[in-house]
Structure 1
Amino acid sequence: MTTIEAPAQPKRRTLYRGDPGMWSWALHRITGVTIFFFLFVHVLDTALVRVSPEAYDATIETYKTPIVALMEMALVAAVLYHAFNGVRVILVDFWAKGPKYQRLMLWIVLAACALLGIPAIGRMFFYLFTEH
């Protein structure tokens, strides 16, 4: 008589702990949506100048706050990451050795973002607290 055994159950985990590739994928989507939202708002507020120059001036005046300045700094970081990671994604997809070097390229992307982003954001932060 033969017995039928149930298949082995995989280990259950309560939290997915993805590797850096999963986090880079998620951050690429988040930065893309953020940039799209900024462009949408930018087109709308720029269009206000044709509708009502006074409303446009009032809107631009509300942008001269520290909160919006911090949002602009985050936008710089988002654009840098999205651009460099986009090049990495293209290389992974279309370069034969791309998948082999995808993790190294991620670290290069992060280093490039830091090398360009820190001085740019630092300059923006400096102008936030100085008179101009």
Structure 2
Amino acid sequence: MSAAPTAPSSPPAKTKAPLGTLYRGREGMWSWVAHRVTGVAIFFFLLVHVLDTSLVRVSPEAYNEVIGTYKNPVMGLGEAGLVAAIVFHAFNGVRIMLVDFWAKGPKYQRVMLWIVIGLFVVTMAGFLPRHLMHVFGGE
């Protein structure tokens, strides 16, 4: 008795990312990364801010020196970066809450990300010219 010949087996098909992943490799992933980076940057700013402000109780002269170092164009650009981080973090945080708590949030998360980017650009376009004139114009 002979067994019927079997067809050669084909290699298993590659599978896509699991259906439950919204962000992997897409815009949402970069939004996730940017949200973490801006959060850490804001945290370190707040840490430095509390430390240099507390200097006034230890030595008002040292405090005045530190504040004097902040009055240069490089720090002005840093302030612009800080505002950009805060604005993105705030708008993206609202988007994340909508994705998490609104039933249709996951469906519209990509559209909401583009809205966040649009709001970010509009907000920064309103802020940057005035701020940079102040930093470099000496107002």
How far apart, CA to CA, are the structure 1 residues paired with 2:30 and 2:114? 12
Shift of 1:96: 0.3
CA contact (8 A) 1:28 1:82 kept: yes
* 1:65 aligned residue: 72
Q: Which has the higher helix share?
A: 1
Where in structure 2 are the equivalents of 1:113-128 lying within 5 Å? 113-128=120-135
- Structure 1 counterpart of 2:101, which letter? F
The percent of aligned pairs where both chains have the same amino acid is 57
Q: Does 1:81 align with 2:85?
A: no
Q: How large is the Cα RMSD of the aligned pairs?
A: 2.1
Q: Which of 103, 108, 117 matches 2:110? A: 103
Determine helix, strand or coil for the equivalent of 2:137.
coil
- Structure 1 counterpart of 2:79, which letter? E
Please, which moves more after superposition, 116-125 or 50-59? 116-125
How far apart, CA to CA, are the structure 1 residues paired with 2:80 and 2:54? 24
Shift of 1:129: 1.6
Give ranges in structure 1 of 5+ residues lacking alignment.
Answer: 12-16
What's the CA shift string for 1:46-100, capped at 9, x where partnerless? 0000000010000011111111111100111110000000000000000000001
CA contact (8 A) 1:76 1:121 kept: no
User: What TM-score, normalized to structure 2?
Assistant: 0.83
Q: Does 1:43 align with 2:50?
A: yes
Aligned residues: 127
Give ranges in structure 2 of 5+ residues lacking alignment.
Answer: 16-23
Determine helix, strand or coil for the equivalent of 2:66.
helix
- Structure 1 counterpart of 2:120, which letter? C
What's the CA shift string for 1:20-60, capped at 9, x where partnerless? 00000000000000000100000000000000001000001
**Structure-2 change in CA distance of 1:97 and 1:51 (3 Å):** same
